[in-house]
Amino acid sequence: MTSTQAEIDVSYSVSNEFFKLWLDENMHYTCAVYQSADQSLEAAQENKAQVLYDFAELGPDKSVLDIGCGWGSMLEFCVRHGIKRAEGVTLSTAQAEWCYARKLDKSSIHICDYRDWKPAEPYDGLVSIEMIDHLCSPAQAREGRAIEIYREYFSKLAEWVRPGAHFGFQAILTNKIPRTRKDLQDLQFTADVIFPGGRNPRLEELVTAVNPHWEIRELHTRREDYGRTTGEWLRRMRLHEGYIRETWGNALFDDYERYLDTCVRGFANHWTSDVQMKLRRI
C-alpha cells in the first residue's frame, strides 16, 4: 500500500501559496545539489534536475515519465530543455492544479496512483524524485515487507520502458537511529504529522529491490546537500513567520519549523541521507 490520497493531501495540499513562500521559484520539494559554498537554492535545484536529466539520458528526441511529479518542477526543466514529450503522475490534487496552471508545452499531468498508470507507449526514460518514500508504511516495514514493496515499484516501472532505457532515481534514506528521546520524538513527529503513511528506505533495501530489472550504473549520496537544502527552506520560511501565523494559524508554522529543524539535525547527525541513482533497464 502507498500513502493514501488523504495522507498525501496532509503532506502536499496545505496550500500551494504556503509552499511557494519558502521553496525555490520552480517548486522543487526535494534535495538540491550544491556545487559551491555560495550557490543559491535556485541554482542548486537546477543542478539536481540536470543530474537526473543526464542519468535518464534525456534529450530533445526523448519522452519521459516523472513518477511523483510534485508541482511539475522536473517536467518544467525537461520542457525547457526541449524534450519531445513529458508526462507526470502525482497523487496530490493541489499539486496537479498548480501543474495545470503552468501550461507546460508538450506535457501532461495526471492525478493517479503510479500502480494504476497505463502508458500509451514505452517511454525513452524515467525520473522519480523522492516518491518511493511514500510506498511502504512503518507498519509494513516492521512486518518485513519493505523490499517486496520497493521491488514492486521498480518492476512496474521496468514495464514502461524498453531494455537499455535509463532511469534517474532519487530517494530520502534512513541511516542511523538517534540516541535521545527528544530526537526520536522529533523524527516520529515528522513521520506522523508531516508525512503520514511514509517511511524512508534504507540504501541496502533499494540496492536489493532494483533487482532483477535494473542495473545500478552510478550512485551518489547527498546527505550534506539535503542538510543545506532543508536549512535554506527553514531560513526562508522563518522570514514569513508573521504572515504564515496570520494566514494559516500558529500550529502550521510551529509544525513546519519543528519538521524542518529536525531535517537539518537529521542530515547533520547521519540519521537520514539522500541517494541519486542512474539505473539502466536490463
Residues that bind ligand SAM (CB under 6 A): 2-3, 8, 12, 28-30, 68-70, 73-74, 89-92, 95, 113-114, 129-131, 134
Smallest separation, CB 66 to ligand SAM (Å): 7
Nearest residue (CB) to ligand SAM, 11 versus 63: 11
Please state, in angstroms and rounded to a whole number, the distance separating the CA atoms of residues 142 and 160. Answer: 30
SS3 content of the chain, % helix, strand, coil (to 5): 50, 20, 30
Q: Which is nearer to ligand SAM, 63 or 200 (CB)?
A: 200
Q: At what angle do helices 241-248 and 250-268 cross, to 10 degrees?
A: 130
Exposed/middle/buried for residue 38 (C-beta within 10 Å: 0-12, 13-18, 19+): exposed
Nearest-approach distance from CB 53 to ligand SAM, in angstroms: 13
User: Smaller CB distance to ligand SAM: residue 117 or 245?
Assistant: 117
Q: Report how far residue 77's alpha carbon sits from residue 100's, in angstroms, rounded to the nearest whole number.
A: 15
Least distance from ligand SAM to the Cβ atom of residue 187, Å: 17
Secondary structure (3-state) at 26 = coil
Please, what is the minimum distance in Å from the beta carbon of residue 195 to ligand SAM?
Answer: 8
Q: Which is nearer to ligand SAM, 119 or 180 (CB)?
A: 119
Taking the least distance from each CB to ligand SAM, the nearer of 192 and 246 is 192
Peptide bond into 212 cis (omega under 30): yes
Distances (CA, A) of 162 to 76, 135, 140, 281: 24, 24, 31, 7
Strand 161-174 versus strand 272-281 pairing type = antiparallel
CB of 61 to ligand SAM, least distance (A): 24
- Please say which residue, 140 or 245, places its beta carbon nearer to ligand SAM: 140
Q: Let me know: does 31 contact 170? Beta carbons within 8 Å.
A: yes
In this complex, which beta carbon is closest to ligand SAM, that of residue 168 or of residue 282?
Answer: 168
Quote the least distance from Cβ 129 to ligand SAM, whole Å: 4
Q: Is 161 helix (H, G, I), strand (E, B) or coil?
A: strand
User: Taking the complex as a whole, how short is the minimal distance between the CB of residue 242 and ligand SAM, in angstroms?
Assistant: 27
